[in-house]
Chains A and B, each alone.
Chain A
């Protein structure tokens, strides 16, 4: 009897509706999951694009800064740097030094080459009665550019009639 009722198909039909509804639900749920994931990835993309946009704006500002820095560097660098080698410039600098410190004894060991610079060690011996002259000479050495003069040691000692001064340092040029 119960089989006849089952065969009647109403329960089967209800089960069919149940399965169809379940299937629809699964499809909707799957679509929701996909949509949510897609939305999340889109949000990440938008966020990244926003960062890229901001970075591009920062790049524009940074370009201005770099431009002005480049202008400053180019102003500082002497034009002859383009045409002369560092060695030539070192030697030119040495000539200038000798010309400026006529009374000084200048000793020159060999030129030294490092990875990023070339230097020419210089030892200057001079005698002076006036401390101000000495200070001005030091100021002159410090003000040299391309080549620069790097002071490593200064010794002042009282001589019989004047102050003896020994300046150790080097003329330095960056490598090209």
Chain B
């Protein structure tokens, strides 16, 4: 439930309404009636910061403008310049406007716009009263225009033209309303509260003015608020008085004199259009917006800082843990320093033997010649009579021995000779350390020359 406080200034009287709104209903929780002089005390004691203000401006400017068709975003500027043109004395002002529709005037298509302007001096007088106590004014509604919200809330939108009559202090306010939009506002002074003959006369004259000057004939008169119950006139209206407007159905209020707070209730009514009829000075709206942004920014910064402090705390404890771990390790390392010294010493000693070790490795790298010769002695074909080895040469190369076998084949026939030679080669291939490289033979001389590589690694 959103809570709202609306304040209305009517002559020497200040009315205050506390309302809660939600789910389409507005509940009036409390209403206060204060003297103007008591209002400062009220503000200083009130905890709420935001207020909606309804004011009955003594001096205001309203009219219907006929503007050339323009894009919506330019209308405000057009209305502003038109108000300045029409009221040269009005230098600094705020206004609200409503586009009533389009019509044709003097053969040209025009846009009808109703405006309501108030001098900023009057508005800031109100604002300053709140600002003194660090309160913010959210909207300022003129008494007359805010009532149009109530009329549209109660009567709905229809094509009937109503002349609505309301009371503020001793003044009677008359509004010409169609489709919830205001076409004309007039304030008439009245000697006493309630509806009397003199007021009926004023209403009738206004009806005539609307008919003759504005070319809008009201279909009926709507009496608002206390005028319904305080009707003491013997004269009758020029047009039928259709109804009395008291409260919309969605308002829940348990107040005896609720009719006196109608404008305030209209101000807290839910629904759009509030900002359109508000005459809150733009500079002030910007100022409050700026303040809101700055305050929000400060809050965000503080929240981020708090979160950051939390993170910082975690980081600091982590740093403590790491430092402890590092210190422990340093102590352990210093205790193991002797390991390093002994390693370096031993390494140095070993370094002195490195040439000897390398030398011994190079000696060991040469294949075992004795084993190679033993392997050759194990060849069966060499032991027989079929062939004779004449010479063996063993040369040591890098990692391998190169062995040359020269001999003579003794077998009688060439076929036998070939068989024996093949058997010899087969035997050599069967020894895993031997790898034949070449094996030429000469059939005429019966000589052969076999070259094999021996490696025992």
- Closest chain A CB from B318 CB (angstroms): 6
Cross-chain contact A14 with B291 (CB below 8 angstroms) = yes
Known interface pairs A39-B315, A52-B333, A174-B355; A150-B128 also in contact (CB < 8 Å) = no
The answer to whether A2 touches B298, judged by C-beta atoms less than 8 angstroms apart, is no
- Flag if A66 contacts B301 (CB, 8 Å): no
Instruction: Report whether A172 and B363 are in contact in the complex, using a CB–CB cutoff of 8 Å.
Output: yes
Given the interface pairs A2-B281, A25-B301, A116-B358, the reply to whether A154 lies near B326 with Cβ below 8 Å is: no
How distant is the Cα of A116 from the Cα of B392 in the complex, in angstroms?
33
List of B residues within 8 angstroms of A50 by Cβ: 329
Cβ of B363: which chain A residues have Cβ within 8 Å of it? 148, 150, 172
A48 to chain B, nearest CB (A): 9
User: Is B332 part of the binding interface, using a Cβ–Cβ cutoff of 8 Å?
Assistant: yes
Cβ-neighbour of A63 out of B281, B308, B346, B389 (below 8 A):
B346
Q: How far is the CA of A6 from the CA of B366 in the complex (A)?
A: 101
A interface with B by C-beta (< 8 Å): 1-2, 4-6, 8, 10-11, 14-15, 17-18, 20-22, 24-25, 28-29, 31-32, 35-36, 38-39, 42-43, 45-46, 49-50, 52-53, 56-57, 59-60, 62-63, 66-67, 69-70, 73, 76-77, 116-117, 131, 134-135, 138-139, 142, 148, 150-158, 172, 174-175
Partner of A18, one of B287, B297, B315, B394: B297
**Within 8 Å CB of A69, what residues of B?**
350
In contact, B287 and A151 (Cβ under 8 angstroms): no
Asked whether B359 lies within 8 Å of A116 as measured between CB atoms, the reply is yes
- When the two chains form the complex, which single residue of B308, B322, B395 contacts A42, counting CB atoms closer than 8 Å? B322
Q: Which residue of A lies closest to B319 (CB)?
A: A39
- Taking a contact as CB atoms under 8 Å apart, the answer to whether B287 and A6 are in contact is yes
Chain A residues lying within 8 Å of B229, measured Cβ to Cβ, are none
CB distance from A40 to the nearest CB of B (A): 10
Listed by A's residue number, 18 A-B pairs whose Cβ atoms lie within 8 Å are: A1-B92, A2-B124, A6-B287, A21-B299, A21-B305, A28-B304, A31-B308, A32-B315, A46-B329, A49-B326, A49-B329, A60-B336, A66-B349, A138-B373, A142-B368, A152-B396, A156-B393, A157-B391
CA distance A18 to B292 in the complex (A): 11
The number of residues on chain B lying at the interface, defined by a beta carbon within 8 Å of a beta carbon of chain A, is 72
Scan B310-337; emit 1 where CB is below 8 A from any A CB, else 0. Answer: 0110011011001101100110110010
> Are A1 and B370 within 8 A (Cβ)?
no
Asked if residues A5 and B131 are in contact (CB atoms below 8 Å), the reply is yes
Provide the residues of chain B in CB contact with A31, threshold 8 Å: 308, 312
List 5 tightest A-B contacts by C-beta distance, closest first: A1-B124, A21-B301, A28-B308, A174-B359, A59-B343
Chain B residues packing against A (C-beta within 8 Å): 92, 120-121, 124, 127-128, 131, 134, 281, 283-284, 287, 290-291, 294-295, 297-299, 301-302, 304-305, 308-309, 311-312, 315-316, 318-319, 322-323, 325-326, 329-330, 332-333, 336, 339-340, 342-343, 346-347, 349-350, 353, 355-360, 363, 366, 368-370, 373-374, 377, 388-396
Partner of B377, one of A42, A56, A60, A131: A131
Asked, given contacts A2-B283, A29-B308, whether A11 binds B294 with beta carbons under 8 Å apart, the answer is: yes
Residue pair A35, B315 in contact (C-beta under 8 Å): yes
Which residue of the partner chain, among B295, B315, B349, B396, contacts A151 with CB atoms under 8 Å? B396
